[in-house]
Structure 1
Amino acid sequence: MARIIYVEDDELVGELVQQVLSDAGHIVGVINHGTLAFETIAFKKPDLVILDRGLPGMQGVDILTALRRLPGLYLTPVLMLTAKGGEAMIDEAMGAGANDYLVKPFEPEELVRRVEQVLKNNLFRRAE
């Protein structure tokens, strides 16, 4: 079970992801504003952050970049979950420090698999 913060401004997508990951045994909070999300992540220090790219306030990649600069949060795994695909978008996010990138629409099973893999990889990284 992981504590996850999902940053998504589309209420329906937020509810879907929250339900899928809750059914998989995780605790998921959904935040719909980038700036509020960054402040909440810094305070709560979740096990995983899932970010949309286009958000009110701070954009997803800006949140990611800021997290990678903060002591105590720079190793927090981040999965980008966004409708914006394409090689340039993926390269930008991965270059900013994303652990994985999943394009909407997605299969719920694929989301759970990716979340589990990112969490597992992060455990190995922290143990090194």
Structure 2
Amino acid sequence: MGRIIYAEDDDIVGEIATSALFGAGHAVGWLRDGQAALEAMRFRTPDVAVLDLHMPNMDGMRVVRAMRVDPHLAMVPVLMLTAVSGRSDKDIAFYEGVDDYLTKPFDPDELIFRVEQLMGGNIRRTGMFA
């Protein structure tokens, strides 16, 4: 079981993702904007952050940038879950410090698998690229 912060402003997508992750035995804090997600992570460090790219107040990329310069959050794995599927957008996300990238619509089982891979330490941060 892991602690997951999930930032998503779409209610339907949020319900699907949180239901899948809860069903797999994880504790999920679902927040509807990036600023609230960042504040929650600073209060209690999660095992994984799942972020949407486009959100109110602070988008997912700005959250990642803030995490990567915060000593308490710098090593928290990040999965970007977004409808943005362009190759350059994905490349930029990895450059900024995202560890995995999944596009919507998504298979809930794949979301669970990817989150659990990130929690399992099967990734290794190399600094600039995941």
Q: Which residue of 1 aligns with 2:16?
A: 16
Q: How far 1:56 moved relative to its partner?
A: 0.3
Question: Which 5+ residue runs of structure 1 have no aligned equivalent?
Answer: none
Please say if 1:44 is aligned against 2:44.
yes
Residue 46 of structure 2 aligns to a residue whose secondary structure is coil
Q: Which residue of 2 aligns with 1:119?
A: 119
Q: Which residue of 2 aligns with 1:100?
A: 100
2:47 and 2:34 map into 1 onto residues whose CA distance is 18
2:121 and 2:91 map into 1 onto residues whose CA distance is 20
1:77 and 1:89 map into 2 onto residues whose CA distance is 18
After TM superposition, list the pairs within 5 Å mapping 1:8-87 onto structure 2.
Answer: 8-87=8-87
1:101 and 1:125 map into 2 onto residues whose CA distance is 15
**TM-score (norm. length: structure 1):** 0.93
Residue 49 of structure 1 aligns to a residue whose secondary structure is strand
Aligned length: 125
Which residue identity does 2:73 align to in structure 1? L
Q: Which has the higher helix share?
A: 1
**TM-score (norm. length: structure 2):** 0.91
Output the aligned Cα RMSD.
1.4
Deviations 1:74-101 (A, max 9, x none): 0001000000011111011111111100
Sequence identity percentage = 47
Q: 1:67 to 1:54 in 2, by over 3 A?
A: same
Q: How far 1:121 moved relative to its partner?
A: 2.6
- Runs of 4+ off more than 4 Å: none
